[in-house]
Copies of this chain bind each other. A is one copy, B any other.
Amino acid sequence: MTHDPDAIAGYDFGTDRVPHSPVTLEELHQLEESAGLTAEGRRFLALAGQVLADQAEEMVDAWRAKIGAQEDLAKWFYGPDGKPDDHYKAAVKPRFVQWVIDTCTRPYDQAWLDYQEEIGRRHTPEKKNATDRVQTPPLVPLRYLLGFTSVIITTTRSFLAKKNHSPEQIEGMYAAWTKAVLITVALWSRPYTKPGLW
C-alpha cells in the first residue's frame, strides 16, 4: 500500500496548524520511562510498523465494526438526525489508519508530541467536529476512550502474528505496541483532566 499522509484531509502532523503541546519533551520522556518503553521496545515497535503497515486499514475496519455494533460507542459519530455521519466517519478513517503507522514508526519528538495533544483535543468539546466541520456530539467520553484502548491493544496481536515471526518477536512487538498505545492515550487524556491532576 502506498501512503501519502499529506493527502489526508485534516492530518496536520508537523504543520503550523497544530499548536505546541503544553506537555514538555522531558515529561514525555518520563512518561515513556514510566510505561517501560526502552530502546529494545522501540526496535520491536519499528518491526511492528513493518508488519502492520499494509494491515492498518483492515485493523481500523475491524475496530470500526466493533464501534458500530455498540450504540454507546457509535453514537459519538451520529449527526443531528440520529444516524451515523458517514462523511465524518469517512474523513476520520484515513487519519485513524495513519495513527497506527505513526505510532509504530514516528520518532516521539516535538511534532509527534504536539499532534498527540491535537488528537486528544479533537475528542473533547474544544476541537471535536471542527476539523471536519460536522455536527456530531461534542465529545468522546474518556471512559470509552480508555475502555476501547483494550480492544485496540488486544486485537492487534493476531495482526502481529500473521507474518511468520518467532513467538519471541511477536511477544516483543505486542508488548511494545501495548506500551506505545498507553503512552499515546495518556497524552490524549490531558485535555480531559482537571487542572493540576494530569
Residues of chain A at the chain B interface (Cβ within 8 Å): 27, 30-37, 66, 70, 72-73, 124-125, 139, 141-144, 146-151, 153-155, 157, 171, 175, 178-179, 181-183, 185-187, 189-190, 192-194, 196-198
Contacts and interface: CB of A to CB of B under 8 A. Distances in A.
Which of A33, A187, A197 has the most CB atoms of chain B within a 10 A radius of its CB?
A: A197
A124 B124 CA distance: 22
Nearest to A32: B147
Contacts of A175: 154, 157
A194 B154 CA distance: 28
Nearest to A158: B171
A178 B154 contact: yes
Contacts of A31: 143-144, 147
A192 B183 contact: no
A147 B35 contact: yes
Given A146-B182, A154-B179, 13 more contacts: A30-B70, A34-B143, A34-B144, A35-B147, A36-B154, A139-B197, A142-B186, A143-B186, A146-B185, A146-B186, A147-B182, A157-B171, A192-B193
